[in-house]
Amino acid sequence: MSRIIALGECMVELSLGEGGAGRIAYAGDTFNTAVYLSRLGHDVAYATAVGADDPFSRAILALMAEESIADDLALRIDGRLPGLYAIERDASGERRFFYWRNEAAVRDYFDRVDVDGLRAAFLGADMVFLSGISLAVAGERGRAVLSELLADARAAGVAVGFDPNYRPRLWTDAAQAKAAAEAVIPSCTHVSVSGPDAEALCGVSAEAVAQAWSAHGAEVIRREEDRTVAIHADGAADILPPGPGAAKVVDTTGAGDSFNGGYLAARLAGASAREAVEAGRRLAGVVVGHPGAIIPKTAMP
């Protein structure tokens, strides 16, 4: 069993159904991955911030406990609330997102956290996992602190996983997001990026981005829209053709997050990069057949 620290934001998810009815759940990119890593047998802690006395924060902490995710790195902040997002889906399962997150508690995380304690937690882990959203909500000061912590962790032999997960509305512009990603890439051992995200973030082909990032020593998994996956490592690219698609696509929310969970869990368990990609594909193929980012435990492959 590996010790993993995932860092980011768990939000209130309002899923819009027929007639305007809504279903409340709790999700976030790195949180979703943390759930799947925990379900796949790893010891996971989640570094985040929530409110101190509201029903939504209590529900997030209860969900962490239910999923066996440690909350010792989760701050409770008086007077703050988690962020919220709503999802509208079309008939094919594709989504539109609407966010309320500017005042979310997680934005104060690096102003409140014991940095030395967080560094010790990172150094005691087998892997630290974060995303471009983690970097965005950390703010400029938080990103500077986080870059140092990740460099220290990598130097100590801790694996670092990263999904750039580019969301333009969280950044001033693509240049700011690219600079933030490239500040942490040298500390990364595993990078998982969608082709469209890589191109939007860096303004060049996804293949060129993956090659450049892998030159820093990371294993870069490039996921394309046609379900082709390329593994970039040691100056070469291993191309995996599209695998079998999901039997039925209900909701693509969490597809990349669950892929990351399956892939990283397999790599930490000693699987080859190809085997880990197939593990990620299998899990994501099940997840997109269910509504929401986190599927019932009974549906886990």
Catalytic residue set: 257
Q: Evaluate whether 71 touches 64 at the Cβ level (below 8 Å).
A: yes
Tell me how far apart the alpha carbons of residues 196 and 166 are, in angstroms, rounded to a whole number: 9
Candidates 255, 246, 190, 244; CA nearest to 222 is: 190
Token pair, residue 216, equals 């820093």
How distant, in Å, are the alpha carbons of 75, 101, 115 from that of 106?
Answer: 8, 9, 15
Q: Is 218 helix (H, G, I), strand (E, B) or coil?
A: coil
Q: Evaluate whether 66 touches 295 at the Cβ level (below 8 Å).
A: no
Token pair, residue 9, equals 């934001």
Neighbour-count burial for 29-56, b at 16+ CB within 10 Å, e otherwise: bbbbbbbbbbbbebbbbbbbbbbeeeeb
Greatest Cα pair distance in the chain: 54
Candidates 136, 135, 162; CA nearest to 33 is: 162
> β-strand 190-194 against 219-223: which pairing, if any?
parallel
Tell me how far apart the alpha carbons of residues 91 and 253 are, in angstroms, rounded to a whole number: 14
Q: Is 75 helix (H, G, I), strand (E, B) or coil?
A: strand
Candidates 229, 197, 79, 84; CA nearest to 132 is: 197
Token pair, residue 237, equals 């690219």
